[in-house]
Structure 1
C-alpha cells in the first residue's frame, strides 16, 4: 500500500522535475509537449513505462520492489545532505528559514549510508537479483544518458572529427574519380562534327541535329556552307534557320561557317587537317545525280539524310 501511494504521488512530482530538467536542456525538448489540458503527457507515459518495466523485471515481488524503492529514496536523502554541505560552503550568507548544524548533517549522512549498506547487502528472495543490481540497471544508463546530453557538443565535435578522419580521404578519392569521369565526358563531347550544306531547308537541318543528339557523343557541330559565289538569300535563310535551331537545341553548340570555294575531296582533307576533325566525323546529305564525285572519293564522309 505504501509503495502504491508513493508511485501515485510520484506522478505529480516527476512531471515537474522532468520539465525542470528538460528546460535546463539536460533531457530532450520533445518531453515538453503538452496536450489540450496542459498536461505533459509524454512524461507521464514514459514514467508509466518505467514503473511497469521495474514491475516486470522484479516479477512483481513486493520485497524486491521495496528494496529498489528504498535505495532510491535513501540516495535522494543523501543528496539532500550533500546539498546542505555545499550551501554551507558556497552560499554561507544565503538567507534561509532553517539552519542545520554540521553535526546533524554528518549524522544524517552516516545514517543514510548505514541504511543504504543494509539494503545493498540484504539477501534477496530465492531466484531474485540483489536490490542494488536492479537499481544499477536503471541508474547507470540514466547517468550515461545525462552525461551524453551535458557533453553533446563535445561528442558531436568528436564525431565530426572522426568522420573527417575516416571519410575525407575516401571523399577525396571519390571527388578525384568524379573529376576524371567528367573530364572524360567533356573530352568525348568536345569532339566537333561537321555537316556540309548547300542550303538545306529547316526540316533537313533539324534531322541533322536530331541525328547528332540521338546517335553521336558530341555537343558541338559546324554547319558549313560552301559556294563559289556568295548567295545572300541562301546565307540569310540558313542564319535564320540555325538561330531557330539554336533555341530548340540549347544543349548543342551550333557554329555556322561560310566558305567560298568548290566542295570536293581536296577541301574536305584541307578542313579536316585545319580543324583537326577526322573525315568520318563529317556529314553530307544525299547527293544528286549531277554530283561530280562518288562517295568513296570523298575519303569517308558519311551520309546521314
Structure 2
C-alpha cells in the first residue's frame, strides 16, 4: 500500500533563526480506475481506502447503486523504478447485468486533487441520476448539534495532525454520533471514500445522516451527497452558487460557514432546529423545497467569516 505521509527536509525559519528539520507531507499519488479492464479516470489522491474511493466514485457517478453491483476490485500489477508495487491502478469488475459507465462519465483527462469535476465532457454529464433522492428525508437536527460537528471531525483527523495538508469528510447521525471519517488531499476523494465505506457497509441510502466536510461546498460535493441519499451537507466554508442551486433542486439542506455557534443555512431550512420549541423553518415551497416565507433568524455570517 502507498504511504499516507512522506518525510522531507525543510528549512524552518522562526523568530529570526533558521534550522534544517524533517517535515511530514501528505502523500499525493495518481490512482487510475479501470472498469472491466477499461480506463475510466485518473485522480490524484492520498493512498489508502482506495477500494472505498472507487466504490464511492462509481456510486456518485451513477454507475452502481449497491455493493453487489461490483464483483471484484483489485490492484493491477505495477512497479516503480525500485521494483515496488505502486498500488496505483485499481481494476473494478462489475457484476453480471450491471451496465458499464456511459460515455459521458469518462474523464477526458486526469482529475486533480482540488477539482474532481475537471475534464468532464460537459456540465450536463454531472446532472443527477440518483436512485436515492434525499428530498423526503425526515432528518431534523439542532443547531447546537451542527455546531459540534466541526470540532468532532477535526478531532478524528489523524493524518492532519502530522501534515496539516488534508481535507476530511465525516458522516454523522442526527444526534452527532460520528459514523466514519476519511482524509485525502482532495475534498472530493475524501467524500468518495466515506460514501464508499457506507456502500460497503450496506448503509446506502444514507437516510438521516449528515455529511460534514472540512472545506468549501462545491457543486460536485452536493452531487455526490445527493447520489448517496444524504439529506444534509455541512461545510466550514462557503458554498458555490451552483452548489446552492443543486441542493435546492434536490431537496437537500446545505449549511455553510459552520464555525462555532454560527452558520448559514442556504437550503432546506426546515431540517434545522433553532430553538427548544423545535420550530425549525417556514412552510416549504412544494416545487423547490425552499421556504415560502421569511427565513428563520439564524446568526448571519459576519464579513470576517468569508
TM class by shorter-chain length?
under 0.3
With normalisation by structure 2, the TM-score equals 0.16
With normalisation by structure 1, the TM-score equals 0.16
Computing the radius of gyration from Cα coordinates, the structure with the larger value is: 1
> As a proportion of its length, which structure holds more strand?
2
> As a proportion of its length, which structure holds more helix?
1
